[in-house]
């Protein structure tokens, strides 16, 4: 080999076997580095999986622990609520006799029932159908034989007219849960309820039963779980 600057000729001792060995060492080194890199990737992946599994276990533990704590708190709240309701129920005194209802409040409840009875008539007075003012027939106090609860029932007679025909029906309305207060007054639900059925008369729907006995059976006798007092 000649130097291009000084034109001196050199002899290079080139050994193909040494070159092959150098190449093999280089390839071996590259393979080792590749293996070490892949091994590092596998270890990192394994480490990541372990961390993920550990994190998942922690999350599951936290969720289960929170569920157990919430369940215990909910159970305690339910027990406290049940105890409160039992205590509240024990402290509530329900009206069991007409004498416990102040006259003024009885009149208020009777007026509420009367208004409901009149509305029942007003709804049906169409197409030539008219009716007299509802007539109060009887008042009953129903008290639960077991546990708490009561209802004040008013039975009315409705007289309907159409053309030259007339018919009498009997309806009932009631107020529930009359409770005695410490000042001697009565707390009650102002919503007036009824369970009156309807039938067709002279091509019109009218409410009630065709006899007092049928109305009494539906309003009073069918409530076998209650004691009955008439005013």
**pLDDT tens per residue across span 182-200:** 999 999 989 999 999 999 9
pTM (2 decimals)? 0.62
One domain for residues 212 and 123: yes
Domain boundary among 91, 109, 124: 91
One domain for residues 77 and 145: no
For residue 163, the enclosing domain spans 94-230
DSSP codes of every residue in 162-222: ETTEEEEEEEEEEEE--EE-TTS-EE-----B----EEEETTEEEESBSSHHHHHIIIIIT
One domain for residues 78 and 102: no
One domain for residues 98 and 60: no
One domain for residues 124 and 186: yes
**Pairing verdict, β 135-144 and 130-131:** unpaired
User: How many domains is the chain built from?
Assistant: 2
Domain boundary among 91, 122, 155: 91
Q: What mean pLDDT, rounded, does the chain reach?
A: 86
Output DSSP code: residue 163.
T
Q: Which long-range contacts (CB under 8 A, 24 or more apart) does 142-147 make?
A: 142/174, 142/220, 142/223, 142/226, 142/227, 142/228, 143/94, 143/95, 143/96, 143/226, 143/227, 143/229, 144/94, 144/225, 144/226, 144/227, 145/225, 145/226, 145/227, 146/225
Band (pLDDT 50/70/90 cuts) for residue 39 is confident
If one compares 6 and 28, the residue with the highest pLDDT of the two is: 28
Closest CA to 150 of 172, 173, 176: 176
pLDDT for res 65: 84
Band (pLDDT 50/70/90 cuts) for residue 15 is low
pLDDT at 227 over 80: yes
Please say whether the beta carbons of 109 and 189 come within 8 A: no
Classify 190 as helix, strand or coil: coil
Closest CA to 130 of 197, 29, 204: 204
Indicate whether 87 belongs to any domain.
Answer: yes
Indicate whether 116 belongs to any domain.
Answer: yes
Residues 79-86: what's their mean pLDDT? 58
* CB-based burial label for 96 (10 Å; 0-12, 13-18, 19+): middle
């Amino acid at each position: 080999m000649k130097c291009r600057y000084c034109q001196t000729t050199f002899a290079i001792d080139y050994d193909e076997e040494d070159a092959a060995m150098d190449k093999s060492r280089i390839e071996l080194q590259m393979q080792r580095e590749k293996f070490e890199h892949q091994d590092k990737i596998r270890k990192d992946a394994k480490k990541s999986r372990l961390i993920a599994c550990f994190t998942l276990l922690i999350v599951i533990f936290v969720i289960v622990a929170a569920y157990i704590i919430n369940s215990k708190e909910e159970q305690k709240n339910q027990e406290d609520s049940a105890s409160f309701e039992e205590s509240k129920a024990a402290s509530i005194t329900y009206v069991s006799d007409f004498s416990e209802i102040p006259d003024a409040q009885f009149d208020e409840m009777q007026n509420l029932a009367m208004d409901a009875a009149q509305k029942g008539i007003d709804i049906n007075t169409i197409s030539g159908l008219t009716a007299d003012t509802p007539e109060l027939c009887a008042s009953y106090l129903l008290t639960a034989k077991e546990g708490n609860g009561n209802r004040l029932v008013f039975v009315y007679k409705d007289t309907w007219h159409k053309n030259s025909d007339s018919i009498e029906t009997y309806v009932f309305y009631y107020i529930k849960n009359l409770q005695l207060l410490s000042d001697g007054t009565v707390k009650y639900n102002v919503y007036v309820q009824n369970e009156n059925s309807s039938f067709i008369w002279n091509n019109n729907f009218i409410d009630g039963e065709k006899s007092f006995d049928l109305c009494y059976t539906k309003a009073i006798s069918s409530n076998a779980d209650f004691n009955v007092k008439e005013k």
